[in-house]
Each structure stands twice: as C-alpha cells, then as structure tokens.
Amino acid sequence: MNIRSNEPYWLINNGILNSYPSLQADTDCDVLIVGAGITGALMANACIKAGFRTLIIDKREVANGSTSATTAMLQYEIDVPLYQLAKLIGEIGAVASYKACRDSIDTLGKIAAEIKSDNEFMKKESLYFASSSKDVKWLKTEFERREKAGFEVCWLGQEQIRRTYGLKSEGGILSKDGGSVDAFRLAHQLLNHNQNKGLEIYDKTELKTVKYFEDQVLVETSTNAKIRAKKIIYCTGYESTQIIPEKIVKLKSTYAVVSERMKNIPSAVKNTLFWNTAHPYLYMRTTADHRLLVGGEDENFKNALLRDALLGQKEEKLSKAIKKLMPEIDFITDFTWSGTFGETKDGLPYIGPHPKFPNTYFCLGFGGNGITFSVIGADMITGMLQNEVDPLAYFFRFGR
C-alpha cells in the first residue's frame, strides 16, 4: 500500500540517518517485529529491555512509511471526546484510556532521555477550540467531564484565545499535558540504540508468507530468507488491513502543509498544540526550526493516485484556513504532503492477540493518537509476552 505522498517535511529535513542491510540468510529469534517505523522502534526498545532476542524487518527503508509523514502531535485527547467515549465503553474504560495516553507522553520523554535522543521532544500544552459557536455547548460538557476525571484543564473564552494566541475562536479547552516530537528521527535513534544492545535490523525485507504453529511462526521474506520466531508482532499500522479479515478501521487521507521559517512566532503558539471541533478537524503545531505545521482536510481513502491528485487543492484550503484563524501570522507554504491514516468506531487502538493468528500480537495505533497508543502498546505487549495482564487489553481487544 502506498501510504504517503512524496517529500514529507521530516524526511527531507533529516535526510538519511542510518542504513541497514536486507536479510540474506535464514535466522531465528524470540520475537520478530514487522514494521520499522516509530511503532516498531518503540516495540523493539521494550522487547530488548525485557530481554527478548529481537529481530525487526521492514519492506521499505527504516521509518519511511507513515512515520515520515506523521505530524507527531502528542495528545492524550482521543479522536472521540471523553464524554462520548464513556457512552460507548463506560466511564472506567474511557477515563483509563485517556489517562494512559496522558501518561504515555511523559513515558516517551523518559525514553528519549534514556537514549540521549536529540529528536526535538517537547512538552507542550494543547488547545481544543470551537470551530463554530454551535460547538461551544458540547465542548464545555467535555471540559467538565475532563475536569471531573482529574485532568489538568481550564476553559478559555473568546477574548483569552485571541489575546494569547491571535486565534479566532469562541472558546476552548486548554490542557496542560501535550507534546511534540520528530518521530522519524526518534525511530532511527531508538533502532540505532537498540542495535548496539543486540537488536537485529533489516530493511528492504518484505514479509511474504507466514506459517503459524502452536509453538512458533515460520516466515519467508522477499529475499528468500526464512525466519523462525517464537512470537511475531505486527507494527504495520494501516497496512494491517491487508491481512486482518474483519474491517476494524476506516481509511482516510489527511493533508499537511509546513510554512517557511518564521521569525516572530509568539511563544504561546510555539508551546501549544492546536486542534478544533470541525469535521474533519484542523490541527497545527510548530516545528523546532520555527515553522508552522497545519493539517486536516481529510478525505475517505480510495487510492494513492486520487489522494495525491488533491494535493494542490488541499494546500490552498489549508493555507486559507490558517490565515483566517490567525490573521497576524504570515503563512507561506514550503512543504506539502499527504498520508493515509485510519479511524476506528471508538477512537481506540487495536492492541494484543488476534484469535485467527497463533503466537501473534498486533500493535495498531489508529487515528490522531498513533504515537501515544504505540507507547502504550509496546508496554502492554511486552507484558503479555511475560504473561502479565493489563486492564486496558479488554478495551483495545479485537472483536469488541
């Protein structure tokens, strides 16, 4: 599946950080991870820490799929608001899911510090703002539900938002817990760090066939090498829809633009993530080199050609949207790209085993919380490998 257009900002900004060989000889391991993006890198980090002999493969070059196209906004807010999620799965599960996402941001910061990463991880605030006056009522309901659940939030009115951010909105929820990261760079640094601890990394090595047995899996790759593994973990994101029999996610195309470098971005804007209540929602953040990244204008995914054909039109719409919202910002587009993502019915990931695949786990963080879900999933699945039970496994299970 072609999951992104050419020339996303992160890929060009970072260039080639590391290069790995393809797998040319038969081998074996405790854990085989399929997919060497940020999810696979986090999973490998957790598996190596837990003492498993781990091997990771990717059909592309490392981190060249969705990871190179992500906007990497770290939010605990799930795409389904807390008050709505509580109606879908119950109050306990909804609050636990939101809190796990909140805690995962700090966990990611600790991981980055442990490996001495320079991936631009930053803690930030997050403003969820009304895109129209009719959204203010339910947004206040969401604010009250979060405040009751113990999240550090405050309500900002129209004048406060305009004065602080130069943003036009009639109200919004300001959350203290958010962050941003260069996911492409962090994925590379995690893999390099763990290669020094025994992780085997092979790119341009596509999984072709898998045979599932009671005590192991046997994989054959595009390079004609065979891998014998006790467990296999799929960290293949939206491409997992090609092997999972049931429909678990609705694929979408999202679009992003990054400005030229700006000299005078207000500090409040630099330190805040933004997203609004529109459908589809608009989202934005700054980069470490003083650019403004804006995304949205989502469409149902049909194929990569149709997705990419809309790039020019979507660039124009996003540029107009940001100039309308922040009229004092001089936004000049420098990069434009599109990528594929997915929405689940409850906004939650699919993490854990699947009944049709023995000795197999999936770590599939869909929606706007892909990276935070991946942090959670890496911890959950390494726990499962050691026969530990995580209460969130029930809410993130297949067949729900």
Has residue 343 got a pLDDT over 60?
yes
Asked if 173 and 289 sit in the same domain, the reply is yes
pLDDT of residue 235: 97
pLDDT at residue 7 is higher than 80:
no
20 lies in the same domain as 155: no
Whether 164 and 227 share a structural domain: no
Residue-wise pLDDT for 102-159, tens only, equals: 999 999 999 999 999 987 899 999 999 999 999 999 999 999 999 999 999 999 999 9
Same domain for 307 and 364, yes or no, is no
The pLDDT assigned to 6 comes to 59
At 354-379, the pLDDT tens digits run 999 999 999 999 877 899 999 999 99
Closest residue by Cα to residue 365 from 35, 30, 95, 143: 35
Look at residue 104 and tell me if it is in a domain: no
Q: Do 337 and 375 belong together in one domain?
A: no
Element (DSSP H or E) covering residue 335 = strand 333-343
**Per-residue pLDDT band at 260 (split at 50, 70, 90):** very high
In a shared domain, residues 256 and 312: yes
Contact 374, 38 (CB under 8 A): yes
Q: Quick check: is 83 in a domain?
A: no
Residues 256 and 170 reside in one and the same domain: yes
Residue 5 CA: distances (Å) to CA of 10, 13, 186? 13, 16, 21
**Within a domain: 358:** yes
Do 168 and 261 lie in one domain? The reply is yes
Average pLDDT over the chain, rounded to whole?
A: 93
Task: Give me the CATH number covering residue 23.
Answer: 3.50.50.60
Residue 274 lies in a domain: yes
Q: Can you give the pTM of this predicted structure?
A: 0.93
Six-digit token pair at 208? Answer: 């072709």
Tens of pLDDT along 266-324? 999 999 999 999 988 999 999 999 999 999 998 887 677 888 889 999 999 999 999 99
Judge if 363 and 216 occupy the same domain.
Answer: yes
CA distance 79 to 234: 23
CA angle (367 as vertex; 317, 267 as ends), nearest 5: 60
Own/partner long-range contacts of 20-23 (Cβ < 8 Å, ≥24 apart) = 20/61, 20/62, 20/191, 20/201, 20/202, 20/203, 21/202, 21/203, 22/202, 22/203, 22/204, 22/205, 22/223, 23/57, 23/202, 23/205, 23/221, 23/223, 23/225, 23/227
Average of pLDDT values for 253-269?
93
How far is it, in rounded angstroms, from Cα 277 to Cα 256?
A: 18
- Quickly state the pLDDT bin for 339 (edges 50, 70, 90): confident
Distance CA 346, CA 88 (A): 7
Specify if 89 maps to a domain: no
Do the domain assignments include residue 31? yes
* Owning domain of residue 205: 9-69+184-247+347-394
Phi first, then psi, for residue 255 (nearest 5°) are -130, 145
310 & 189 share domain: no
Residue where a domain stops, chosen among 343, 359, 385: 343
**Is residue 97 situated within a structural domain?**
no
Closest CA to 67 of 26, 35, 28, 102: 35
Q: pLDDT value at position 251?
A: 87
Specify if 109 maps to a domain.
no
Q: State yes or no: pLDDT of 2 exceeds 60.
A: no
Q: Give the CATH number for residue 277.
A: 3.30.9.10
Domain check: are 137 and 203 in the same one? no
Same domain, 139 and 285: yes
**46 pLDDT exceeds 80?**
yes
Q: Is the pLDDT of residue 3 over 50?
A: no
Local structure of residue 4 (DSSP, 8 states) = B
Give the number of domains in the chain: 2
Round the CA-based radius of gyration of the chain to a whole number and report it.
21
Of the candidates 103, 367, 77, the residue with the CA atom closest to the CA atom of residue 248: 367
pLDDT score for 166 = 96
The closest alpha carbon to 352, from 298, 315, 400, belongs to: 400
